[in-house]
Amino acid sequence: MSKVDLGRTVGRVLGRGGLIAIIVAAVFGLIWTLTIAALHHYSINGFASYDVGVASPLDVRPDLVAGADIQYVTINFTPVSPDPTALLLESIGVGSRYAVGMLAGILVIWLAVQLLRKRSFGLGTAGLLGVLALGMFAVAIVAPMLEGQAAVLAVEAAGLPTEPSMPTFGESDETWVIPPTPHWQGFDFSLLALGLVTGLCALLLGRASRLQDDTTGLI
């Protein structure tokens, strides 16, 4: 298996005590993340709520902004009977965020164990980093869209108006709900950037491993 001496160098710098401390901290982080994920899942299914926009004609809410025809505010909508599909989509979206965090923690533990065993980083490590990077990309794109679609389904299931009424005479005096439409602007760009950095590290490590193989073969 191809190896890179960087792993041994890092192991010597950190020492066994430092590596063990990293493993303990990572394990604690995994347990904490799993606990928070379970509580969040319980909150989603037991107390479902969604942040949605509400548009109100000026005659209905003149206290918001003077000199405007329509006022927009954000409210927290809690349905009496949550839609099961909306709950499922939100659970998947939120759960995937915790899953990618736990995957990163497991990778940190694996790297620290490899260093404790005085093993070097090679193509296997590059592959694991690549998997983590792909997971980050997927979650950054898919999770916000699932959560947005969950809010749309919840609003539809509750029968809330999503468009202004069109009275025969005069202007509408009713408010309507504007659910968050899934859009690329809702992507988690911080996670996308982190996935990009992780992917670049995977590519560089894989390239370094192959170069070392080539160099070893020439000696």
What pLDDT is recorded for position 135? 95
Q: Give residue 58's pLDDT band: very low, low, confident or very high (50, 70, 90).
A: low
Residue pLDDT, tens place only, 96-145: 999 999 999 999 999 888 888 877 777 888 899 999 999 999 999 999 99
The answer to whether residues 99 and 191 touch, using CB atoms and an 8 Å cutoff, is no
Give the pLDDT mean for 6-10.
55
Q: Please state, in angstroms and rounded to a whole number, the distance separating the CA atoms of residues 111 and 128.
A: 10
The amino acid present at 207, given as its one-letter code, is: R
Tokens 């003077």 locate to 66
Q: What is the phi/psi pair of residue 80, to 5°?
A: -70, -45
Give the pLDDT mean for 194-211.
87
The runs of H, that is alpha helices, within 55-188 are 84-116, 123-158
The answer to whether residues 150 and 48 touch, using CB atoms and an 8 Å cutoff, is no
The DSSP secondary structure of 11-58, one letter per residue, reads HHHHHHHHHHHHHHHHHHHHHHHHHHHHHHHHHHHHS--EEEEEEEET
Residue 106: which residues within 8 A CB-CB, separation 6 or more?
26, 30
Q: Give residue 173's pLDDT band: very low, low, confident or very high (50, 70, 90).
A: low
Q: Please state, in angstroms and rounded to a whole number, the distance separating the CA atoms of residues 142 and 147.
A: 9
Residue 140: which residues within 8 A CB-CB, separation 6 or more?
187, 188, 189, 190, 191, 192, 195
